[in-house]
Structure 1
Amino acid sequence: MSLRDENSEVFLSCSICLEILKDPKLLPCLHTFCQKCLVDFKDDSGGVLSCKTCKIQCDTPIQELKSNFFISSLLDRFQRQKLLSTDQHSLTCEICQEKTATHRCVDCPQFCCDVCVTIHGRIPALRSHEVLTIDEYKEKESRCYLMVQSKVFCSDHKDTYLEFYCDTCQVPVCLKCTIVNHRVPEHVHRDLQEVADEYKTQLREMLGQLKVKEKQMEEEKATAVATREEIQNQCAAEKVKVMRRAQEVIERVKREEKMLIDALDESATMELKAAAMNIDEKEFHHGNIVSTHHYLNTLVHHGNAIHLLSTKLETMSHIKEMVAMETKPPISDNITEFHPGSDLARHTLMGVIKTDACPSKCTVENLPKQLLKGESANLLITTRDSREKQIIPRQGITVKTMNPDAPQEDIDVTDNNDGTCNVMITGKMVEKHQVAMTIGNQHISGSPFHISVPSSGWLQTVGKAESEGQLSADAWGITVNKHSDFVTADKGNNRVTIHDREGNYKQSFTFTDQFAEPFKPCDVVISDDNEYFMLDDRNKQVVVSDEYGKLIRKFGSSELDNPCGIAINPATKHIYVSEFSEGCIRKYTKDGVYIKTFRKGINNKLYMLAINSDGLLYVVNFGNHCVEVFDSDEQFIFEFSSLGDNEMITPSGVAVDRNDYVYVSSLNQVTKHETYGQFICRIDDDSDGLIRPCGVAVCNDGRIAVVDCGNRCVKVFEE
């Protein structure tokens, strides 16, 4: 490689002063700079020395930095090549400084003339030096640089070559150094070339690793470049989307502008037409009065008695008619205004046209005559002007509840920005529920509205509305959790559904894809430690989860065949499961360990279960139309089926309250019984319309919740 090409000169230049290196010093990061440049650069950087190339900070004092002998050698060679490239006769002997140089001592290193080279050869200490003619030196220089490179002198002993390597200090040393500063046995010396050969081998291995790293960084650089291009391309693509969207918005704004202006023109045209008609009417009547007044005034001043009296009757009658003529009030000025939109996300970007509404022309739809407690109705208010045209009103709409012995309550109004508003009202536990609706402080026609809310009997409907929590016609068991939520086994929807006390849907447990067959819960019960035990009819198992629906365990698949009802003994915590077709009851521990089966093989078709505080187990016998009762030892003690003057027909659900009263759902009714089955009363009424009631649960506040399968809901009653 020639050191005279442009790249080599750059390689030998200092990146601070951009000139050929002078007194090159090597930083720990292997970058080289002039010593003076490093001093100046450190002063300019506030006393902190960092590499200008790679920015790595250097904590070594500048005076302690190592000289870069390799760069110094390259600089020497570079200078020699520059000299050799010139005319040979211009080379001057570096010893006598007079004659033309003819030789080169590789070891000194110096250019010598014929006389000086003779003297050089006579000096014993210099006889071992390699002396070449200029032509020989040029040839060897061009063929192999290492054979002709000059020896390096010690920085401490200027007249002695570096020949050894101190392993202790890890620096090249001269012969004098081995005697003065690097004496044995404290220091270990080796031949410099030997150590260099070992280091070359090690360095070649490291160069291989460095080559791999170089390739890796090259690939990462290519990836970074590709990422930059991708970012640029993505940015350009997104800008196109922005411009396209901006154009769409501009076009939409123009359309809305035209629509709003047309609406204002239409409204103004109608108002102007009415105003013009009113002016014409006034001008007509005014003209009649003026002409009559002028005629009669002339008659008074110029007519004689005959003239005056001959038309007395007609004149007096006409004057009285004109004086008594009813003067119509000026037409109402319905103000029409443009209201800019404040929310660009709404369906109109610019805004809407609002006009004065006429309260007597506004209407309310979907207004129920009666609401059960907890039920809601969505009312629709349509606002109109005096011409009964649907408009967006300038005035504000206010809706308040006005219940006896209770403060007024504001109800939120949802403005649809199309001349209609929605209002959601919910039944409260009072005899009369009044709703007042005003617009511009004037009552809408019919306001306040009176809605009947029963204070006893059927209070509430849960899961009936068309919503995410709507129950199916195949909902069976029900219980109430510690939050007073209604927890329903909705077999038809493959889930356990939870509604809060007010009937709002909260969540569902579905266990999708966790079992071999779809999850089909037919009953549910909750333990004292808040674990949910759900009876899965399709997979013939009991599924246990926490209150958030996270599966904890499952059991019973080896014994269960057609499970229907489930209950927990409050004293022993044992789990009881009724089998519909087998006509038996399975008993398990709380952890799912099978204990035994009892009441097997007689009078099949068992439905729901309930256990009171004394451990009495109530089992609904659907086939025999009765409720069987077992003691705490699972021994049958009695059954009951009387409903006063009637007999129980196809019972299905059973529950007990904190006072151990028993509630049973049977053919389209729910009844209350003493602990030992004596009939007390009926909870519902024929007008409540129960159809195929199933599961029964007693709420914490004493209300009775019943799954109404026929009406696909839960109905809540108060005794």
Structure 2
Amino acid sequence: MAGAPATSNSFLGDISEDFLSCSICLEIYKNPKVLPCLHTFCQQCLVTFKAKSGGVLKCATCRIQCDTPIQELKSNFFLSSLLDTYQRQRQLSTDHPQECEICQEKTATHMCVDCPQFNCDGCVTIHKRILALRSHEVLTLEKYKEIESKSHLNEQSKVFCSVHKDSHLEFYCDTCQVPVCYKCTIVKHRVPEHRQRDLQQVVDEYKTQLRKILGQLQVKEKQVEKLKSAAESTREGILNHYEAEKVKVATRAKEMIERVKREEKMLIETLDEKARMGLKDVEMSINEREFHHGNIVSTHHYLETLVHHGNAVHLLSTRTETMKHMKEMVAMETKSLNRHDITEFHPWREHAMMGVIQSDVCPSKCTVENIPKQLLKGVPVKLLIKTRDSKGNQVIPRQDVTVKTKNPDASWEGIDVEDNNDGTFHVTIMKKMVGIHQVAMTIANQHIPGSPFHIPVIQLVGKAGSEGQLSYPWGLTINKHGDFVTADRWNNRVTIHDSDGNYRQSFRFTDQFAKRFSPCDVAISDDNEYFMLDDSNKQVVVSDENGKLIRKFGSSEIDNPFGIAINPVNKNVYVSEYDKDCIRKYTQSGVYIKSFGRSGKKQKEFHRPNMLATNSKGLVYIPDMKNHRIQVFNSDDQFMFEFSSTGGSTMSHPRAVAIDKNDHVYVSSEHKVTKHDSNGGFICRIDSEKDGLNSPHGVAVCHDGRIAVVDRDNQCISVLEK
């Protein structure tokens, strides 16, 4: 190393030995080399570190990989200068005289600021005679110490060229980006191939750049400091969080231990109680048998003695009593002790940490709650099973509880049982098949009292929901798709639901008529045209199956319509007039033909005719509501017969009639639906009291043979089995 700056004591006081020490060997730098990441290490330390790292050189501080060969790394002139200055200051601060660094024999008296070297008087003379060193500033030690102590020794260091040892580095080659001496500009860094500038000028520019970058670095330093602070806060938060979680674990463990102890006490007490009750029964049985045994033994001993030692009088005097008593004792039932209920501890269940006590169940003592009188199709109902032992106490069973259902088509279906782990079980029943279902509930293959339960499943259409909900419905028919087509009167529309009760569409005819569309009944022709009876506008409205208006007719004749039907024989349209007590006939195109009937109670007279129907032979069945009968006419409007019997009672206020493919007649009357043959003979009642019909109106036969009836006041359609 050539020269180093003389540095003030105050500056050196800020420099610690750690700053001047290699972080690998932890000693003062020896030939310090600076990596691209600006971290400095001894050259030999880098060689050793690279060898230990498998031939890859990474910074020991920041772990950034360096691909530059070690021999090509730049020397850290700044640290080298600091080291020289630091060592000189240590030498000057000692009380021992300094030795001349030239002859290494005499005591030094002078100090060369530029070299820097300690010189004795003789060596100073030689130093001044050397031509290349004449420009160096040489001071006495006293003067050097005086100036340095006053911080006036501020000359720039003069660094000598590593090639031309006697030349200072005073130029900078922009082309090679290295400091050079004057001789270098003539030899290896000649113009015009190379461009040189004054070293101090380049340094000033570089300092300006460094100050700008240092400002940015300072900002980055604060950002990283904040991130570091945040990371430290996160670390503290993590430590605090997990300490708190450990407290939770400890608390939970304490709670679980206490709970286990409580459960242990409860289970032991339960077993003790079970044992006490079982032992009590056995003790009573033992006492009873001991009594009978003692009685038999004493009687036997007495009679043995009497036989051997008694005379005739002794024996025969109590013959009657003796024989009666002996026969009673011999006939006495000596059945074995009843088997006691088995109670067992079963480890761990979902609701208990330790386990539960399970006992034998007596199926005949078990009960089922919430058995419904009927089920709605697709609507679930939850049943509750309670299991009990032979004494009627509710217990958790050792035996399996099973539930299965038998559908109307005779197929069986298993039902999941939800164990509440307290001696009760929940069973959810939901059926999609209309008809009578059997629900079998068994424990240990024995039926619970009442099992199997017979539960009817019915279908309600339009009862719940918003868009498909019915409001005061009247007439009903079935279209070719098997859908329910309903005169949804108070919703001012005809509403269509599919066979499963799902809403499909509706016909409204908004703003197409003088008054709001108010349908009371519907009929469908063989051409799939929908004939809808509009009460408000006193007309028949005809549309296609999508609700597109085709035509309308009848407003000149119709006054207060109620029912509509299409005769399959003559294809005519029949409309019943509620107030006029007559039936009007039209062609399907809307041409008025005639009317028949008048007010009265005789044949061919009506009092409030309602929703009529026709069979396959063209017979027209007309509910004569206030006369409590059904009148039947042929396709030529001739009276055929009437009927009013419903199996032991008189028909009451019949509202509507429907005909199936076998010409069976279905009549909806006050609170019930009945089935008749084509001549009106009563066959059976279709609904039951459990169905709870409330003002049945329109009735229709589904494609699968089930009977659908408009339950007007319940605002739905009930689908019933035949």
Q: TM-score, normalised by structure 2?
A: 0.70
**Residue matched to 1:410:** 414
1:484-499 matched pairs, under 5 angstroms: none
Which of these residues, 515, 522, 528, is aligned with residue 603 of structure 1? 515
Q: In the alignment, does 2:87 pair up with 1:79?
A: yes
Tell me how far apart the structure 1 counterparts of residues 713 and 152 of structure 2 sit (CA, whole Å): 105
Higher mean displacement: 189-198 or 366-375? 366-375
Higher mean displacement: 254-263 or 603-612? 603-612
Counterparts in 2 of 1:268 and 1:103: CA distance versus 1, 3 Å: same
User: CA contact under 8 A between 1:166 and 1:182: conserved in structure 2?
Assistant: yes
Which of these residues, 269, 281, 289, is aligned with residue 282 of structure 1? 289
Which of these residues, 112, 116, 124, is aligned with residue 109 of structure 1? 116
Deviation of residue 696 (structure 1)? 13
The alignment partner of 1:90 has SS state of coil
Counterparts in 2 of 1:502 and 1:69: CA distance versus 1, 3 Å: farther
Deviation of residue 5 (structure 1)? 4.9
1:120-199 matched pairs, under 5 angstroms: 120-144=127-151, 147-148=154-155, 150-199=157-206
Deviation of residue 242 (structure 1)? 3.5
**Residue matched to 1:295:** 302
Counterparts in 2 of 1:256 and 1:714: CA distance versus 1, 3 Å: farther
Aligned partner of 2:132: which letter? A
**Residue matched to 2:658:** 681
**Residue matched to 2:31:** 23
Tell me how far apart the structure 1 counterparts of residues 391 and 94 of structure 2 sit (CA, whole Å): 110
Counterparts in 2 of 1:63 and 1:257: CA distance versus 1, 3 Å: same
Tell me how far apart the structure 2 counterparts of residues 106 and 373 of structure 1 sit (CA, whole Å): 110
Aligned partner of 2:217: which letter? L
- The alignment yields a C-alpha RMSD, in angstroms, of 4.6
Tell me how far apart the structure 1 counterparts of residues 168 and 72 of structure 2 sit (CA, whole Å): 21
The alignment partner of 1:349 has SS state of strand
Tell me how far apart the structure 1 counterparts of residues 149 and 700 of structure 2 sit (CA, whole Å): 106
Aligned length: 591
Which of these residues, 431, 443, 447, is aligned with residue 443 of structure 1? 447
- CA displacement 1:590-649 (0-9 Å, x = unmatched): xxxxxxxxx4xx234557999999997877745246542369996743258434698488
**Residue matched to 1:711:** 714
**Residue matched to 1:659:** none
**Residue matched to 1:422:** 426
Counterparts in 2 of 1:428 and 1:225: CA distance versus 1, 3 Å: closer
Which of these residues, 21, 45, 56, is aligned with residue 37 of structure 1? 45
- CA displacement 1:408-446 (0-9 Å, x = unmatched): 221111122222212222345465422222101222223
Aligned partner of 1:62: which letter? I
Deviation of residue 222 (structure 1)? 1.7
Query: What is the percent sequence identity of the aligned residues?
Result: 61
Counterparts in 2 of 1:200 and 1:428: CA distance versus 1, 3 Å: closer
The alignment partner of 1:272 has SS state of helix
1:235-634 matched pairs, under 5 angstroms: 235-343=242-350, 346=351, 348-403=352-407, 406-427=410-431, 429=433, 431-453=435-457, 459-460=459-460, 578-579=509-510, 584-585=511-512, 599=513, 602-604=514-516, 621=534, 623-624=536-537, 627-629=540-542
The alignment partner of 1:629 has SS state of strand
User: CA contact under 8 A between 2:697 and 2:709: conserved in structure 1?
Assistant: yes
Tell me how far apart the structure 2 counterparts of residues 139 and 672 of structure 1 sit (CA, whole Å): 135
Tell me how far apart the structure 2 counterparts of residues 701 and 212 of structure 1 sit (CA, whole Å): 84
User: CA contact under 8 A between 1:400 and 1:409: conserved in structure 2?
Assistant: yes
**Residue matched to 1:50:** 58
The alignment partner of 1:409 has SS state of strand
Tell me how far apart the structure 2 counterparts of residues 355 and 363 of structure 1 sit (CA, whole Å): 17
Deviation of residue 24 (structure 1)? 0.3
The alignment partner of 1:71 has SS state of helix
Counterparts in 2 of 1:193 and 1:503: CA distance versus 1, 3 Å: farther
Aligned partner of 1:353: which letter? I
Counterparts in 2 of 1:376 and 1:117: CA distance versus 1, 3 Å: closer
The alignment partner of 1:435 has SS state of strand
- CA displacement 1:55-83 (0-9 Å, x = unmatched): 11111111111110111011111111111
The alignment partner of 2:65 has SS state of coil
The alignment partner of 2:180 has SS state of strand
- CA displacement 1:238-295 (0-9 Å, x = unmatched): 3333434444433333333333322222222211111111110000001111111222
Tell me how far apart the structure 2 counterparts of residues 214 and 397 of structure 1 sit (CA, whole Å): 73
Q: Which has the larger radius of gyration?
A: 2
Any gaps of 5 or more consecutive residues in structure 2? Answer: 1-8, 477-481, 491-496, 566-573, 580-607, 622-656, 660-665, 673-690
Counterparts in 2 of 1:160 and 1:646: CA distance versus 1, 3 Å: same
Deviation of residue 148 (structure 1)? 4.1
**Residue matched to 2:641:** none
User: CA contact under 8 A between 1:471 and 1:713: conserved in structure 2?
Assistant: no
Deviation of residue 297 (structure 1)? 2.4
Tell me how far apart the structure 1 counterparts of residues 271 and 113 of structure 2 sit (CA, whole Å): 104
**Residue matched to 1:654:** none
Q: In the alignment, does 2:566 pair up with 1:637?
A: no
- CA displacement 1:646-687 (0-9 Å, x = unmatched): 84889xxxxxxxxxxxxxxxx9x999999xxx9983899453
Tell me how far apart the structure 1 counterparts of residues 701 and 183 of structure 2 sit (CA, whole Å): 107
Tell me how far apart the structure 2 counterparts of residues 177 and 235 of structure 1 sit (CA, whole Å): 67
Deviation of residue 44 (structure 1)? 1.4
Counterparts in 2 of 1:197 and 1:359: CA distance versus 1, 3 Å: same
- CA displacement 1:299-356 (0-9 Å, x = unmatched): 333334443343333333222221111113312210112222332xx3x333322211
Counterparts in 2 of 1:617 and 1:276: CA distance versus 1, 3 Å: closer
Deviation of residue 692 (structure 1)? 9.2
